[in-house]
Amino acid sequence: MHAVLAQQSVDASVGDGVYEGREGDLQRYEARTTGLAHGKQALIKNVGDQFCRRVAACYVCLKGICISAKIDRVTESNKRAGIMGDVKAEEEPSGSLLGFPSLHHLLAAHLPPAALKEASRLLRGYNGGDLVPALQLPECIISMSKDFKFDVQGYSFKARREEMRSPRVVRTAVIQNKIVLPTTEPFLDQKRAIMNRVECMIDAAAKASVNILCLQEAWTMPFAFCTREKTWCEFAESAEQGKSTMFLQALAKKHNMVIVSPILERDKSHGDILWNTAVVIGNNGHIIGKHRKNHIPRVGDFNESTYYMEGNTGNPVFETAYGKIAVNICYGRHHPLNWLAFGLNGAEIVFNPSATVGDLSEPMWPIEARNAAIANSYYVGAINRVGTEVFPRAFTSGDGKEAHTDFGHFYGSSYFASPDASCTPCLSRFQDGLMIADMDLNLCQQVKDKWGFPMTARYEKYAHLLKAYIREDFKPQVIKDPLLP
């Protein structure tokens, strides 16, 4: 297979690592491909499956072959796979996937059409019999994304046309972003810079007529909880009167847009306690409500419990002008019953604003939100911040690692998933991004009717088990093989 891929590479770009025949760049290109060759063995060592061996072999074949590569072939591959976004990255982008912004771009560059179609079918599923189609976004948004250097993609989930109900199409969006200034800059300057950056992408979403938009976890600040330093508490603010809330209230009203704002909340009514909170702002600029993070991690550098504890708001669903939404903040995605609770309360769209790094969670990332959408018959918007945030002082987390100054690379890769098991490609692993999706909310009920998950569930059995489990005298229901000693 890798011979086929290598042959394809004669005429095809390698995406973000493309070399377009500029003689002055040949030396740098040779150095890069040599590095890729050295990286082959590490890739095979870490990933034993045959597919990745072939991809690695293909990369070695690129040396000396792709000198005359053309971007057109990759662009056509992306179109065949229904992938939006620029395939050509900045030179040597930190956090890229072998030079590509996403796995989908890597596959589109190297798989023959038939293989790419089958791989995409399994990785992304079919919506209405085909891959989720790309949206035709206004040219002004494409221009903005190039001018302000952010990835922009748009897709459209379909539902079956019904006789008794009109379509309920809502346009949603998620934003992933890096911090703008170094963490050594004054806190107020850091916050203002992030707000200015995010405002640009919200304006782009508004030009696309987005109805509901969600930002990433703790979007107003670096994800500094890894450091355990309490000076970062200064970023906390009131959910109701804080500067970021008032800032987004004005934008929500201006654009007739529901905006979900995950922040570090300071609750002045209860002893200045901190919470990890999502504020839901209505399309008229009013506050609909808020939800506090239910599950707090205690693994690796996720030292969040140094700052705040588990939330006390339950699993609320917010009925907005455009649909019923909920917010499952970050670590809650690892808890199936947390997802279930939002579904039982009637959610049609659940956003999962997160901050997570590659070494720990990336293999789970494309699975969890998609699985939640399937199991609970609602749409999910999975959002992860992007970039590597370096802090002034080294820190440790009691896990045996050497002291370090960064958490790791936040790999972005935000995407949408549908109740029918289909999903969009991901945003970039290293670039700010705006993902837009049209969703016909009628699909939620249609999938429930087709698969019957709520009807066939045994909630009374689960309730009985859980009620027994939380008692001190609980005994697991285990039937032992009588032949065992």
Residues taking part in catalysis:
217, 293, 330
Report, in this order, helix, strand and coil percent for the chain, each rounded to 5: 40, 20, 40
Q: CA 280, 282, 283 angle in degrees (round to 5)?
A: 140
Please give the full DSSP string across 379-447, using - where no structure is assigned.
EEEEEE-EEEEEEEEEE--SSSPPPEEEEEEEE---EEE-TTS-BPPP--SSS-EEEEEEEETHHHHHH
3-state secondary structure of 367: helix
| Cβ proximity of 194 and 218 under 8 Å | no
Distance from C-alpha of 183 to C-alpha of 143, rounded to nearest angstrom: 30
Q: Which ranges in 62-186 belong to alpha helices (H)?
A: 71-80, 103-110, 113-124, 139-147
CA-to-CA dists, residue 330 to 128, 216, 317, 388, 466, angstroms: 30, 9, 17, 18, 24
Please, are residues 453 and 377 in contact by the beta-carbon 8 Å criterion?
yes
Q: Name residue 96's amino acid.
A: S
Strands in 135-257 per DSSP E: 151-156, 169-176, 212-214
Torsion sign, CA atoms 20, 22, 26, 29: negative
